[in-house]
Amino acid sequence: MRTTLTIDDDVLTAAKAIARQSVGEVVSELARRALRRPATARERNGVPLLQRGPDDAPVTLEIVNALRDE
């Protein structure tokens, strides 16, 4: 099975950089990033809340339901 994706150039560059690393290096880096999560991260019911940027549209219940139904 093949899937075609359209991704931004910066994401492609990051993916290529990750592909050149060993699995151990990638897992270690991802673990470091997770451990560096800001101590001020907000949580609701034990789930970390993601901050949205100033230009990001809010996620509505309608959007969630539409994605769930796909």
Q: Domain for residue 70, yes or no?
A: no
Residue 45: pLDDT over 70: yes
Residue 18 lies in a domain: yes
Number of domains the chain is built from: 1
The pLDDT of 33-48, averaged and rounded, is: 79
Residue at 43 is within a domain: yes
28 domain-assigned: yes
Q: Which position has the higher pLDDT, 15 or 39? A: 15
Q: Is residue 23 part of a domain?
A: yes
Residue 4 lies inside a defined structural domain of this protein: yes
pLDDT at 66 (0 to 100)? 94
Tokens encoding 40? 């001020």
- Domain span including residue 13: 1-47
Percent helix, percent strand, percent coil in the chain, to nearest 5: 45, 5, 45
Phi, psi for residue 43 in degrees, rounded to 5: -130, 155
Rg (alpha carbons) of the chain, rounded to whole number: 17
**Average pLDDT estimate for 56-61:** 90
Q: Examine residue 55 and state whether it is found in any structural domain, yes or no.
A: no
